[in-house]
A and B are shown apart, each in its own frame.
Chain A
């Protein structure tokens, strides 16, 4: 009588779970509020496009040539130039965080330039903030070239010139880059957290003991408990998708069905991970901490969401192979920004499938139908 999977029993557990969710403001608020919070936070706060960088200019030459050269900075929207306080060492602006860089032009700059000798400008950058300074030094090359053309007598033909064209995300809008990865973060964090909590709660309150004494099968408990959260997280994903498209004007170049397939694969994997956490911890508090650590950290740090995998040390590059967010990140960005097809996504999809089988196998193996410690 009790052998075999009964859909009606799984369904009754799912219905009970929906009742819990509807009556529990915390779960609802997390499921619907957290994605919005993440989108607003990452969509607006993280911006790699540098502009209005404060620079201090100490023009000790003060000739037409030096003023002309400095104008190159002020005419670009990237920099905000302020003259140095005459009685002060310009370098102190770096120490007090008033500026990210200091430009010092020593007397004689104009003379040297006029006489055809090499003219020197000193630029000091705040190396403590190496991400901003990296970008500044990138811009400096361009400014240097522009200045060269203006100041030197007449344009010279450069023997070699690089014309760079960006194929995807032509405007190099870093928000597109961030937001197209947000679906990964939302699913990664939300689904692991919610499932870990719901199953751990059942253990912690003792209701699992009662459930296990009934003819209900472990697989029915798992299906019944996870199905509502699958639906809930899908709703959050749709919300994030709409915000990305409407609010941030993100394109979607790929196939939506392919995207759905990727989402479902990644989502099932995360649900299995949450399940595994909860059957191991059997406590809500611990399950929550483990979910955040195992869900949030790899997604934020090791998935290529912000930090490129290619520039990680080899060990971490290989480590990302077993991390699902890395593969889903490729799928999400590829479909949003590049419009890749099934052929290009075969590897990430296959890896997600493989990791799914491993994670589900582990979770099912550890799911006990007894109370043995």
Chain B
């Protein structure tokens, strides 16, 4: 099994008048859950899209390593799963039809698909809703379907852009249980969130603001270093200090 890690160096990206990313350096290792933490407009989605190859950086590097060997993005592309922030499923297609559609796109064989599909439906407790169109799912179930589509191909890297946004607290807890399962399978998970309380659940955090990383590391040591009780406080402190 391949273990993919990602290293980014001095990544910058301008989108229209905004400097979405201004020189970001970080590395992402397998079997860890990285949280991109920051307010709206911090550059989280832009970074996600660059990692997925949907946007190209103006300057800087984005390298993918497979067992410590640098590989071309096209080689690893099919083992990276991505769940966009925007609702991107087809409202008129049912849960089962979505899974079949993504099976075909990822060229998954019938046998593997049957097993994986049963596994995912069980894990997400979505078995009773297979025939329900995506447009009629609740916020939490919709996100779960998105995650199922992403996980169908058994990826090595999972990129989730605000997966818990607009999801009720109970569904959010369920969602986190699913994420913990993933990292136990040595998968690299990178998720972004604007919910500060979720930061402490990540293995590592990258705190982003205005396109820059203002702190990075294990959540508790970041808080200690910044002398903040929690991440909300961290941002409030920064705001008071006029964004150093």
B106-A214 in contact (CB<8A): yes
* B89 touches A (CB below 8 Å): yes
> Which chain B residues border A19 with CB–CB below 8 Å?
92-93, 97
* A372 touches B (CB below 8 Å): yes
A216-B49 in contact (CB<8A): no
* B77 touches A (CB below 8 Å): yes
A2-B104 in contact (CB<8A): no
A16-B52 in contact (CB<8A): no
Q: Quick one: which of B55, B89, B100 contacts A370, CB cutoff 8 A?
A: B55
Minimal Cβ-Cβ distance residue in B for A3: B74
Among B80-88, B176-184, B204-212, B228-236, which stretch is in contact with chain A? Answer: B80-88
Minimal Cβ-Cβ distance residue in B for A215: B78
A207-B93 in contact (CB<8A): no
> Which chain B residues border A8 with CB–CB below 8 Å?
104, 107
* A167 touches B (CB below 8 Å): no
Minimal Cβ-Cβ distance residue in A for B92: A23
A209-B107 in contact (CB<8A): no
Q: In the complex, A210→B52 CA distance in Å?
A: 10
B104-A371 in contact (CB<8A): no
B56-A372 in contact (CB<8A): yes
> Which chain A residues border B93 with CB–CB below 8 Å?
16, 19-20
Tally of A-B Cβ pairs under 8 angstroms:
80
> Which chain B residues border A373 with CB–CB below 8 Å?
15-16
Question: Which of chain A's residues 167-225 have a Cβ closer than 8 Å to chain B?
Answer: 205-216
In the complex, which of the residues B49, B83, B84, B105 has the most CB atoms of chain A within 10 Å of its own CB atom? Answer: B105
B87-A205 in contact (CB<8A): yes
> Which chain B residues border A210 with CB–CB below 8 Å?
82-84, 88-89, 149
> Which chain B residues border A212 with CB–CB below 8 Å?
54
A12-B105 in contact (CB<8A): yes
**A370 with B56, Cβ < 8 A, contacts A6-B107, A12-B104 known:** yes
* B53 touches A (CB below 8 Å): yes
Q: In the complex, A16→B100 CA distance in Å?
A: 10
Minimal Cβ-Cβ distance residue in B for A11: B104
**A2 with B78, Cβ < 8 A, contacts A206-B84, A206-B88, A207-B88 known:** yes
* B101 touches A (CB below 8 Å): yes
* A128 touches B (CB below 8 Å): no
Q: In the complex, A356→B10 CA distance in Å?
A: 44
> Which chain A residues border B101 with CB–CB below 8 Å?
12, 16
* A24 touches B (CB below 8 Å): yes
Minimal Cβ-Cβ distance residue in B for A208: B88
Q: What is the size category of the interface that chain A forms with chain B?
A: 20 to 34
How would residues 56 to 81 of chain B score, 1 for a CB under 8 Å from any chain A CB and 0 otherwise? 10000000000000000010011011
* B102 touches A (CB below 8 Å): yes
Minimal Cβ-Cβ distance residue in A for B91: A205
How would residues 115 to 149 of chain A score, 1 for a CB under 8 Å from any chain B CB and 0 otherwise? 00000000000000000000000000000000000
Minimal Cβ-Cβ distance residue in B for A201: B90
Question: Which of chain A's residues 307-322 have a Cβ closer than 8 Å to chain B?
Answer: none
> Which chain A residues border B54 with CB–CB below 8 Å?
209, 212-213, 370-371
**Minimal beta-carbon separation of A210 from chain B (angstroms):** 4
A213-B82 in contact (CB<8A): yes
Question: Which of chain A's residues 1-47 have a Cβ closer than 8 Å to chain B?
Answer: 1-3, 6, 8-9, 11-12, 16, 19-20, 23-24
Question: Which of chain B's residues 38-62 have a Cβ closer than 8 Å to chain A?
Answer: 49, 52-56
B105-A214 in contact (CB<8A): yes
> Which chain B residues border A24 with CB–CB below 8 Å?
92
Q: In the complex, A207→B49 CA distance in Å?
A: 14
> Which chain B residues border A213 with CB–CB below 8 Å?
52-54, 80-82, 84
**Minimal beta-carbon separation of B75 from chain A (angstroms):** 9
Q: In the complex, A3→B82 CA distance in Å?
A: 19
Q: In the complex, A24→B92 CA distance in Å?
A: 9
Q: In the complex, A210→B93 CA distance in Å?
A: 15
B90-A20 in contact (CB<8A): yes
> Which chain A residues border B49 with CB–CB below 8 Å?
371
Minimal Cβ-Cβ distance residue in B for A22: B92
Q: Quick one: which of B55, B80, B97 contacts A371, CB cutoff 8 A?
A: B55
> Which chain A residues border B53 with CB–CB below 8 Å?
213, 370
In the complex, which of the residues B74, B92, B104, B107 has the most CB atoms of chain A within 10 Å of its own CB atom? Answer: B104
> Which chain B residues border A372 with CB–CB below 8 Å?
55-56
**Minimal beta-carbon separation of B29 from chain A (angstroms):** 22
> Which chain B residues border A211 with CB–CB below 8 Å?
105
Sample (15) of A-B pairs whose CB atoms are under 8 Å apart: A9-B105, A11-B104, A12-B104, A16-B97, A206-B84, A206-B86, A207-B88, A209-B84, A210-B83, A210-B149, A214-B105, A370-B54, A370-B55, A370-B56, A371-B49
List 13 additional contacts besides A2-B74, A212-B54; criterion CB under 8 Å: A2-B78, A6-B107, A8-B104, A12-B101, A19-B92, A23-B92, A206-B86, A206-B87, A207-B89, A209-B88, A210-B84, A213-B53, A215-B105
